[in-house]
Amino acid sequence: MKRVPKAVFFIVAILILLLTYTSIFGVYGQNGDNKITYIKGAGDIRWGIDIRGGVEASFVPADGVDATEEQLTSVEETIKLRLLSNNVTDYELYSDPANDRIIVRFPWRSDETDFDPQTAIEELAATAELTFRPGMEYESQSLDADGNVVYNTPTGETADEVILDGSDIVSAQAGYITNEQTGQPEYVVNLEFTDKGTEKFAEATSEMVGETISVWMDDVMISYPTVNEAITDGQCTISGSFTAAEATELANQINAGALPFALDIASFGTISPTLGESSLNAMMIAGVIAFILVALFMLVMFRLPGFVAIIALMGQVALSFAAISGYFPGLSSFTMTLPGIAGMILSIGMGVDANIITATRIKEELWVGKTLDGAIQKGTENSFWAIFDGNITVIIVAVILMAVFGPSNILSMIFGASTTGSIYSFGYTLLVGVIGNFIMGMTATRLMTKSLSRFKFLRKKWLFGGARG
């Protein structure tokens, strides 16, 4: 058996415990009134409609526009992108061409305590047409909720000419810079232009050095920088006293694109949860109790391999939470539904099964007279393909479920309605759970078991399931 250093157990165990702690509790900081999230925890998970409730709304074209079926499809796709950019996967979205209506249902945000459905659906219904215009002539001004001046409706030369619009932008991303005067972080939106947009912006900024270019979202001026020099690199930053949430929302709106026409809200209301948070808390307590019972069973039946399995299972659960909350950079958070919880439980069951198979194979080898090292080596080898084949089969099923019921799903093309939600949620949590089983049940378990077998005081066959003596 290839020897694994003693230190490997402690390294792997500490990494798993650290992952478990941070994936549950997260890592946060505070900058003034702003909460800074360094690592998302379980509290950042967005719960689905069936658990936390949500919003139902229907939209109709504003100003009596007689929308075509193609235009309604375009609106549906834009709203879908806006939902997905906010990490909402548990939604229902339908278009009704006969009545010129779009119907949508989606869950509350994870961080919302005083939920305002009116504001939520107004964000979806906003035209979100971004334009860059010369000068900063405006028709009127008002004050927002924080007492800041808001400039409304372009007029004069500013209204007559558009330098760039949303179609000239490849991507938008929220970020922050340090204000040179105050030393405080200032939230901004970084834009990247298309090749055509780069040419337009370079030409405009070359001709307007020392002048103002205003940036508008629909009829509201959001920024009015002065051009200091020609900008030819195809990138630009929008600043405007944004909060972190406002910068993110603006970037999401730009990325999702503008609606082909304005929408009016025909109706809206809240949806009561099927389960409710009290039942969710009870389910979590039951989950903890079940985990403790499984841990006791593993310890009694398999002793030291059972102890190793408990640590590996903690790591698998932590990886599942991390994949759902958006713990890893580049991986968006995910809406958790009841079927999603079922998928996670099923994957944890597979993790228990994988560890039982490995521990049983080691135990069997010891009972036929193998040495400890030989039993561990042969037991892990004999269990590998049984676990591998089962996991691969489940991964294929999970991927198929996600492909068929995902955001760009096949059934929506057939039936004209998005079925993203319950089944997709089940497939996603099942997939990440099985991947976690590969990492923890098939890699971490083996490393920790082989590492522990190097300690002299632990080299007793009965500790690994063999007979005493």
pLDDT tens-digit map of 43-74? 888 888 888 888 889 999 988 788 888 888 88
pLDDT at 407: 59
In whole angstroms, give the CA distance from residue 459 to residue 450.
Answer: 11
Between residues 293 and 186, which one has the greater pLDDT?
293
In whole angstroms, give the CA distance from residue 232 to residue 293.
Answer: 64
Closest listed residue to residue 256, CA positions, set 413, 400, 129: 129
In whole angstroms, give the CA distance from residue 438 to residue 138.
Answer: 60
pLDDT at 136: 93
In whole angstroms, give the CA distance from residue 203 to residue 97.
Answer: 42
Angle between helices 304-325 and 277-302 (to 10 degrees): 150
Res. 411: pLDDT tops 50? no
Mean pLDDT of 191-210: 94
- What lies within 8 Å, CB to CB, of 182 at 6+ separation is none
- What does the DSSP assignment read for 52-108? H-EEEEEEEEGGG----HHHHHHHHHHHHHHHHHTT--S-EEEEEGGGTEEEEEEEP
By residue count, the chain amounts to 469
Res. 219: pLDDT tops 50? yes
Give pTM, 2 decimals. Answer: 0.73
Token pair 């990440």 is found at 432
Lowest mean pLDDT among 82-96, 122-136, 388-402: 82-96
Residue extent(s) of CATH 1.20.1640.10 domains in the chain: 7-28+275-464
Residue extent(s) of CATH 3.30.70.3400 domains in the chain: 54-127+259-271
Strands (E), 323-380: 335-336
Contact 57, 362 (CB under 8 A): no
Class of domain 129-256: alpha beta
Between residues 149 and 132, which one has the greater pLDDT?
132
Residue extent(s) of CATH 3.30.1360.200 domains in the chain: 129-256
Res. 227: pLDDT tops 80? yes
> Does the domain spanning 7-28+275-464 belong to CATH 1.20.1640.10?
yes
Lowest mean pLDDT among 186-200, 244-258, 449-463: 244-258
- What lies within 8 Å, CB to CB, of 76 at 6+ separation is 93, 95, 102, 418
pLDDT-derived band at 419 (thresholds 50, 70, 90) equals very low
Whole-number Cα distances in Å, 111 to 44, 319, 456: 7, 22, 51
Please give the CATH number for the structural domain made up of 54-127+259-271: 3.30.70.3400
Res. 417: pLDDT tops 50? no
pLDDT at 105: 87
Token pair 């919302």 is found at 112
pLDDT at 317: 95
